[in-house]
Structure 1
C-alpha cells in the first residue's frame, strides 16, 4: 500500500516508521510553500498566538519574543 500525505518528509519520521513496519510506503509531498514576508510588529503586547508552527518559526526569524509575553501555538 502507498500512502500519500501532504506534509514534508522531515515532519513524518514516526509515521514513516509506523507504515514501514506494516509494509506500506509513505509518499510525502507538501502542496504549499511558505515565504517570509516583512512585517511590522507592535512595540508592546502581552500575548501572541501563532496559527501554526511555521508562523512561530517565521516570527522568531524576524523578531525576539519578550520574556513576559504569553505564547500559544497550534501544533507542536
Structure 2
C-alpha cells in the first residue's frame, strides 16, 4: 500500500520519480531520510525492506508496472 501511495504522483506522470523524494505533501521524505514522527510510522516498512535505499529501489522497480496497471484499470470489471 505504501508503494502505491508514494508512486501515485509519478504513476500519472504528474512529476518525475526523483522529485518525489523531496515532495513535502507526502510521507516519502520521512522514509528516504529516516525521519521519525508521531503520526507517520516508518519503522514497520523500513524493517521489512531493510533501509531507505532499498525502499527507494523497491519504488523504482515497480513504477513501470504501476503505470501499466493504471492504463488498463478502466478495462477491469468490478
Fold in common (TM above 0.5): no
Which structure shows the higher helix fraction? 2
| Structure possessing the higher relative contact order (Cα contacts under 8 Å, 6 or more residues apart) | 2
Structure 2 length-normalised TM = 0.22
Structure 1 length-normalised TM = 0.22
